[in-house]
């Protein structure tokens, strides 16, 4: 009689997996599936992001971002498909030379296939939600403009122009202007009413 293999009971603890090693890979070897897959509810859509225009970001900063957040990829027949880090890959592919090598984590093909919906959901829904800053365009601009590192990150004109930042967010430049407070408005009315009228 053949004995069945013993299956360990679930302990409720997460299963330990060996982490993939970091590799350097040319951008030209990578692909991103943008179109909607059958049965997959979350797909990559550039228009969903607050910062729409990223072509002015410096290549040095892109390289640093990729070191901090390497892409997760899985092997296909003739290329590697990006399964996590879609937004950063789009930026790198747009701004860097196709021959440039970037850091990636090659995920096991079987694991990627069995968990593709979860990985796509984490990458395109959960991670952006975790990192999203709340506030108006003005509040985002004040954070963006007040760190002292703006000129080190962005190329002209986004390195100093408020108009270019407004364009990158898809808002009017007036959205980045501080509205006058009630006290300021009152003072303006007082100054206007107290000023001598011009004689005819």
Residues 111 and 169 in one domain: no
Give the largest CA-CA distance in the chain: 117
Residues 31 and 95 in one domain: yes
Residues 37 and 98 in one domain: yes
> Using alpha carbons only, how large is the chain's radius of gyration in Å?
25
pLDDT, tens digit (0-9, with 9 covering 90-100), for 16-42 = 566 677 899 999 999 987 665 555 566
- Find out whether 66 and 90 touch, Cβ atoms under 8 Å: no
pLDDT, tens digit (0-9, with 9 covering 90-100), for 118-160 = 888 888 889 888 988 888 889 888 888 877 888 888 888 888 8
- The CATH number that applies at residue 83 is 3.90.1530
Residues 161 and 83 in one domain: no
**Which residue range forms the structural domain that includes residue 50?**
22-132
Does the predicted TM-score (pTM) go above 0.75? no
Q: Is the peptide bond before 157 cis (omega within 30 degrees of 0)?
A: yes
Residues 141 and 124 in one domain: no
Residues 126 and 41 in one domain: yes
Task: Assign 109 a pLDDT band (cuts: 50, 70, 90).
Answer: confident
Question: What are the start-end ranges of the H helices in 115-181?
Answer: 116-121, 127-131, 137-145, 150-153, 162-169
């Amino acid at each position: 009689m053949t004995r069945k293999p013993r299956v360990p009971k679930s302990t409720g603890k997460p299963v330990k997996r060996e982490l993939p090693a970091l590799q350097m890979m040319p951008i030209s070897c990578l692909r991103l599936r943008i179109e909607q897959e059958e049965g997959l509810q979350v797909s990559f859509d550039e228009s969903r992001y607050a910062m729409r225009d990223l072509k002015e970001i410096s290549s040095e900063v892109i390289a640093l971002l990729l070191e901090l957040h390497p892409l997760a990829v899985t092997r296909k027949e003739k290329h590697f498909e990006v399964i996590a880090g879609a937004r950063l890959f789009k930026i790198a592919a747009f701004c860097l030379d196709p021959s440039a090598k970037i850091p990636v984590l090659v995920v096991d093909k079987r694991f990627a296939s069995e968990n593709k919906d979860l990985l796509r959901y984490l990458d395109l829904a959960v991670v952006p939600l975790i990192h999203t800053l709340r506030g108006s365009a003005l509040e985002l601009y004040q954070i963006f403009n007040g760190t002292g590192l703006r000129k080190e990150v962005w190329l002209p004109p986004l390195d100093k122009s408020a108009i270019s930042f407004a364009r990158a967010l898809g808002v009017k430049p007036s959205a980045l202007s501080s509205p006058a407070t009630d006290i300021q408005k009152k003072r303006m009315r007082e100054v206007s009413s107290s000023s001598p009228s011009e004689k005819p």
